[in-house]
Amino acid sequence: MRVISGKYRGRKLNSPINDAVRPTADKVKESIFNVIQFDVAGCAFVDLFAGSGGMGIEALSRGAKSVVFCDCDREAIRLINSNLKGIDGDYKVLGRDYRDVLFTLSGKQDFIFVDPPYKTDYIEDICRIVKERDILDKDGYVIYEHDDSKNDYVLPGGMCIAKRKKFGIVVVDYIAFSRGKTAIAGSYDPITKGHLDIVDAALEEYDEVTVLLAKNEDKEYLFSLEERKEFCRLATEDYLNVKVDVCEGFVYEYCKAHGIDTVYRGYRDEKDYAYEKDMAKFNEEHGLKTVLVEGERAVSSSLIREKLLKGEDIKKYLPENCVKAVLKAYKEKL
């Protein structure tokens, strides 16, 4: 066990001596902090079933404003305190039941990490208390680590699973207050990693994203509509709250019919931006707001098509889950 990043990067943490404490695996911990990385500095973080304290210490290392460590197991409290030696920051270690801690927390919390023993079913009670006491920031998450047998729990009204990530039998859910749904629209001929960046940006603000495929009879595509739809499905299959659909008319018409008032679009350069601004103005005239996202990865579907024609490697540009499908579909066209 180690601290992955920040002030105490590389610091080794003491491990539990028995199975009563089950630390979050490093790869899972790294994934969680990759999701919330831009919001950790200055945040209020609660490590509710703290165990070894590894999650809360990672938050302190990355600049969390405050951390509350909670565990009712004496061995866990001893382990947490030993791992906190030499760690600076505003933190509390509470040897109390999770309900007691939730009912006594003051102020809004940005992240409440919940990793109870896998045989328990506390999450519904936890979320009910969080909602009733209004202790989670409107943009915050209850981050719930569990095994895949605990996927079908019921959340209180107004809360939803905003994201779900799977690591074998381990599942991490990001539970948030409901924020509506949105769409990203394009040809996806084929879908790229850059498109997934836009999906991720949309999920920062909305609970549900529709990847909306344009259907334009006047435009020539390398891949068929069904092939492009399958690529998108494969690319987003690890996202719990992303669906794929087809738009046969104007995007604003589809969005109006499906209760969507905002669409996300990406751009890579000034030429892209000018085009997208014109499209955004058109959508706005028809009651649809457009959010433009600058692409961090300068990759387009046209670049993929050019490289395919030249016989060049495209794997690094495509979402991992759809690489084989794209290559197989292209090979069949030769």
Give just the sign of the alpha carbon dihedral 251, 253, 256, 258. negative
Structural domains of the chain, with CATH = 26-177 (3.40.50.150), 181-333 (3.40.50.620)
Instruction: Say which amino acid occupies 20.
Output: A
**pLDDT tens string 225-276:** 999 999 999 999 988 889 999 998 899 999 999 999 999 999 988 988 999 9
**Among the listed residues 257, 253, 249, the one whose alpha carbon sits nearest the alpha carbon of residue 283:** 253
Q: Looking at the predicted structure, is the pLDDT value of residue 153 above 70?
A: yes
CA distance to 26, 104, 121, 231, 311, per residue, from 321 (Å)? 23, 44, 32, 8, 20
Pairing of strands 66-70, 44-47: parallel
Tell me, what's the pLDDT at 22?
64
**Among the listed residues 13, 26, 25, the one whose alpha carbon sits nearest the alpha carbon of residue 52:** 13
CA distance to 6, 65, 286, per residue, from 280 (Å)? 39, 38, 10
Tell me, what's the pLDDT at 163?
84
| Cβ contacts of 229-233, under 8 Å, gap ≥ 24 | 230/322, 230/325, 231/188, 231/190, 231/191, 231/322, 231/325, 231/326, 231/329, 232/188, 232/191, 232/322
**Among the listed residues 27, 87, 93, 96, the one whose alpha carbon sits nearest the alpha carbon of residue 62:** 87
Neighbours of 84 (CB within 10 A): 19
Tell me, what's the pLDDT at 37?
93
Q: Look-up: residue for tokens 């007691």? A: 100
| Cβ contacts of 122-130, under 8 Å, gap ≥ 24 | 122/98, 123/150, 123/153, 124/153, 124/154, 124/155, 124/156, 125/99, 126/48, 126/98, 126/102, 127/155, 127/156, 127/159, 127/175, 128/156, 129/99, 129/102, 129/103, 130/102
Q: Looking at the predicted structure, is the pLDDT value of residue 287 above 70?
A: yes
Tell me, what's the pLDDT at 307?
92
At 147, which helix (H) or strand (E)? strand 136-147
Instruction: Say which amino acid occupies 192.
Output: T
Q: Looking at the predicted structure, is the pLDDT value of residue 24 above 90?
A: no
**pLDDT tens string 193-208:** 999 999 999 988 888 9
Question: For residues 41, 46, 52 and 58, what is the CA-based torsion angle, rounded to 10 degrees?
Answer: -10
**pLDDT tens string 37-61:** 999 999 999 999 999 999 999 999 9
Dig out the tokens for 140 from the structure.
């915050």
Q: How many Å apart are CA 193 and CA 210, to the nearest integer?
A: 16
